[in-house]
């Protein structure tokens, strides 16, 4: 059962993954490969120091599109399950923004599907980052770094 | 008919609010909604549109009860 | 500081990752992407039920080659750090065999380097699997599944 | 000269032991080591070789104190 979660506070990604994995109902011994990705807030972007960030989303539409991205991954790749966790609200450097994970029998599908999740999320899921810069100004991030 | 209009991220800053509730009549497209709601503020290039939380285009016809959203390119992850 | 570890008992991969990550000395806010992979023992392989497995390695050569694979990844990809943990000895279905992780500023390098680590490990690192089958027989695995 | 010879995985099963300590003289290659140590058991196809824990080939010359290892294709991960 795929799992999508929007979270408002900081989370430790590996602890959360250990907590959520049993909820998926995967059969122990039934999967051979797990590919995981985390995106973490850097204290620099496009050459500037970044002191804080706020992530806005579109409640409802965001979850719906994350679920659809997982559905598409399940159709394209031979995977068993997947999850996406994404942070919203104020975020500090060093904190995790996104966690994706994919389980499959063999490694190729897990690697490819996990990368697919992240690329699709970056291009389609309604989230917007506003950065507070070291000089006191703020700016909306206009586009993501190419993947 | 009644339409809810939402503005996200930099478009919320541009319009000066995050949503409008509009009462509007006739054959109305998403582009018409923008003009009516914003008082003809020029739409920034690369603005994205959703109708009822699905991506849509400016020519899409809007119906009673629809939720129309305008936002800049997404930057999650 | 890259980290290579050969372990003889079961480990919980996400807990171990949480434990090892601080040892790498990454600067918080200095990385934006982490790609992780785990390989888990399945209870099936090549169409047969597998009840247990033993992993043999070549102490010394194995560690040396894992370290070299990480060095090569650091040369080819713009990454900040990496780790490889690999199990040896008797293993039960559902237990983790291998954990790889890569940290980088941007996601592309982490994804690509992590996949590189796994492919190189599968092709070059001296480990050998012996499977105990459901019918009571045992066999050395002759080759890995293509990645 | 003295050479340590090691056999891993299915090759250990084939030879019936996991290592030999050989005393041997002359211009000796890895292939010679296999013949001397195994009593001319045919080498399985795809056998891999390491000298002092580095991958090598059958023609590599072996020196005093070297460790020579024979093993099947690797299957870790």
| Nearest residue of C to residue D71, measured between CA atoms | C126
3-state secondary structure of C132: strand
Question: How many structural domains comprise chain C?
Answer: 1
Distance from CA of residue D47 to its chain's centroid? 10
**Domains with residue ranges and CATH for chain B:** 2-71 (3.10.20.30)
pLDDT in tens, D4-62: 999 999 999 999 999 999 999 999 999 999 999 999 899 999 999 999 999 999 999 99
Query: Looking at residue C36, which CATH number applies to its domain?
Result: 3.90.1170.40
* D10:C128 CB<8 A: yes
Taking an 8 Å cut-off on Cβ atoms, the answer to whether B53 and A60 are in contact is yes
Residue C146 has pLDDT above 80, yes or no: no
> What's the confidence (pLDDT) of residue C45?
86
Closest CA–CA distance from residue A29 to any residue of chain B (Å): 31
Q: How far is C124 from chain D (nearest CA, A)?
A: 7
**A68 has a chain B CB within 8 A of its CB:** no
Binning pLDDT at 50, 70 and 90, where does residue B56 land?
Answer: very high
* Matching residue, tokens 């590996």: A14
Long-range interactions of D44-48: CB distance < 8 A, separation 24+: D44/D10, D44/D11, D44/D14, D44/D72, D46/D72, D46/D73, D47/D11, D47/D71, D47/D72, D48/D72, D48/D73, D48/D74
pLDDT at C97 over 80: yes
pLDDT value at residue D50? 98
B13 and chain A: CB distance < 8 Å anywhere?
Answer: yes
Residues B58 and B29: beta-carbon distance below 8 Å: yes
Question: Average pLDDT, stretch A66-74?
Answer: 98
Given a contact cutoff of 8 angstroms between Cβ atoms, the answer to whether C128 and C68 are in contact is no
User: Helix (H, G, I), strand (E, B), or coil: what is residue A73?
Assistant: helix
Query: For position A80, what pLDDT does the model report?
Result: 98
Q: Is C42 on the interface with D (CB under 8 A)?
A: no
Pull the structure tokens for residue A48.
């500037």
At residue D3, the 3 state secondary structure works out as strand
- The set of chains that have 3 or more CB pairs under 8 A with A is B, C
Q: Which pLDDT does position A46 carry in this prediction?
A: 82
- Ordered strands of the D19-23 beta sheet: D19-23, D2-7, D67-71, D48-51, D54-56
Residue A98 in domain? yes
Q: How far apart are CA D4 and CA C29, in angstroms?
A: 49
Residue D15 neighbours by CB under 8 Å, 6+ apart? D7, D37, D38, D41
> Do A33 and C18 lie within an 8 Å CB cutoff?
no
Q: What 3-state DSSP class applies to A3?
A: strand
Q: Is residue C144 part of a domain?
A: no
| Chain C partners within 8 Å of D70 (Cβ) | none
The whole-angstrom separation of Cα C68 and Cα C114 is 14
Q: How many residues does chain C have?
A: 147
Task: Give D54's contacts in chain C (Cβ within 8 Å).
Answer: 61
pLDDT bucket at C48, cuts 50 / 70 / 90: confident
Instruction: Tell me which residue in A36, A42, A110 faces C32 most closely, judged by beta carbons.
Output: A42
Q: What is the pLDDT of residues B24-33, one digit of tens each?
A: 999 999 999 9
Task: Specify if C143 maps to a domain.
Answer: no
Tell me, yes or no, if B4 comes closer than 8 A to chain A by beta carbon. Answer: no
Say if residue A130's pLDDT is above 80. yes
Compute φ and ψ for A3, nearest 5 degrees.
-135, 130
A107 touches chain C (CB under 8 A): yes
Is residue A140 assigned to a domain? Answer: no
Under the banding of pLDDT at 50, 70 and 90, the label for residue A57 is very high
Handedness of CA B6, B7, B9, B15 (dihedral sign): negative
Chain A residues in contact with C31 by the CB 8 A cut-off are: 40, 42
The band of A95, judged by pLDDT with boundaries at 50, 70 and 90, is very high
Q: Is B45 on the interface with A (CB under 8 A)?
A: no
Which of A104, A133, A128, A135 minimizes the C-alpha distance to A35? A104
Burial class (CB in 10 A: 0-12, 13-18, 19+), A62: buried
- Rounded to the nearest angstrom, the minimum Cα separation between B23 and chain A is 23
Of D54, D55, D77, the CB nearest to C144: D77
Q: Say whether residue C146 is in contact with chain A using an 8 A CB cutoff.
A: yes
Between the two ends of chain D, the Cα-to-Cα distance in Å is 37
Range of the domain at C84: 3-22+32-135
Asked whether the predicted pLDDT for residue C145 surpasses 80, the reply is no
In degrees rounded to 5, what are phi and psi of residue B42? -60, 135
pLDDT-derived band at A123, boundaries 50, 70, 90: very high
Pick the closest to residue A94 from C30, B76, C78, B8 (CA basis).
C30
Residue A147 pLDDT > 80: no
Please indicate whether, in this complex, the C-beta atoms of C125 and D71 are within 8 angstroms of each other.
no
Instruction: Verify D-B touch: 3 or more CB pairs within 8 A.
Output: no
């Amino acid at each position: 059962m795929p799992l999508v979660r929007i979270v408002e506070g900081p989370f430790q990604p590996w602890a959360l993954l250990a907590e959520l994995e049993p909820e998926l109902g995967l059969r122990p011994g039934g999967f051979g490969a797990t590919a995981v990705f985390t995106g973490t807030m850097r204290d620099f972007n496009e050459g500037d120091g970044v002191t804080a960030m706020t992530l806005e989303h579109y409640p409802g539409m965001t979850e719906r599109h994350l679920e659809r991205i997982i559905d598409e991954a399940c159709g394209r790749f031979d995977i068993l399950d997947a999850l996406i966790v994404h942070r919203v609200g104020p975020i500090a450097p060093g904190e995790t923004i996104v966690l994706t994970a994919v389980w499959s029998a063999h490694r190729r599908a897990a690697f490819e599907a996990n990368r697919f999740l992240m690329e699709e999320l970056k291009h389609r899921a309604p989230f917007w980052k506003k950065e507070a810069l070291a000089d006191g100004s703020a700016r909306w991030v206009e586009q993501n770094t190419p993947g | 008919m009644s339409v809810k209009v939402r503005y996200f991220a930099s478009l919320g800053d541009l319009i000066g609010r995050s949503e409008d509730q509009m009462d509007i009549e006739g054959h109305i497209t998403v582009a018409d909604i923008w003009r009516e709601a914003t008082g003809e503020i020029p739409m920034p290039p690369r603005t994205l549109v959703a109708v009822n939380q699905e991506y849509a285009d400016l020519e899409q016809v809007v119906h009673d009860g629809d939720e129309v959203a305008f936002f800049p390119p997404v930057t999650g992850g």
